[in-house]
Amino acid sequence: MTSVYRFWFTAIALAACLGVLAGNPAPAEEAAPASCEPITPNAFQGSDIERINQAIAAAAASGRRVVIPRTNHAADGSRAVWLLDSAILVQSGTTLELENCHIKLSDRCRDNFIRSANCGLGIAEIAPLYDIHIRGIGNALLEGADRPRATGDSASVSQFSIAAAATNTATETIVNARTNATLTSPAGKARVAVRGFAAS
């Protein structure tokens, strides 16, 4: 009987040692899912905008989110600004977080800060996009170019004001003199419609 107990004790001790040497994996419930781990442009190569768009494409394909951090670890050294030569292109399933980062248009940029990736040169059929989330975390800054050459891009820092958007200029309030005098409803604004948005 003693030899039997000794056999089982030895077997259990050996199994325990093998388990320690092999390294038992953490339980599944303790491991963080891959979707919780963000993708950062710092993991890619190229210009700032190329790295950002590569991160968005990779994240959209894997169901993860993209975080643009404060520090840009570029090939020519780390800096606290991300320069855009063209727009950040969001795709379906994109979750983009601007985390205390400074994004700036370069002097040669002729594009928006952010736009959809479903239209542009060489795209004939525009497919709808869905499930897009863009969040600003902390002090995220969007800044225009230092020496802009495009009309309307003279402001250094982008400002979004509800009061400014509601202000009518003289050209917007001009009413055709031939309009019926009994018509009391105000004339609509003559602004060019932008793809994806209703004309005001």
Mean pLDDT of 78-90: 96
- Which of 16-25, 106-115, 152-161 is the least confident region? 16-25
Mean pLDDT of 89-95: 94
Q: Residue 157: its pLDDT value, please?
A: 53
| C-alpha–C-alpha distance, residues 166 and 168, integer Å | 6
Asked if 146 and 108 touch (Cβ cutoff 8 Å), the reply is no
Place of tokens 């055709």: 176
Confidence of residue 151 (pLDDT cuts 50, 70, 90): low
Predicted confidence (pLDDT) per residue in 116-141, tens digit: 998 877 888 888 999 999 999 999 99
Predicted confidence (pLDDT) per residue in 185-194, tens digit: 444 444 444 4
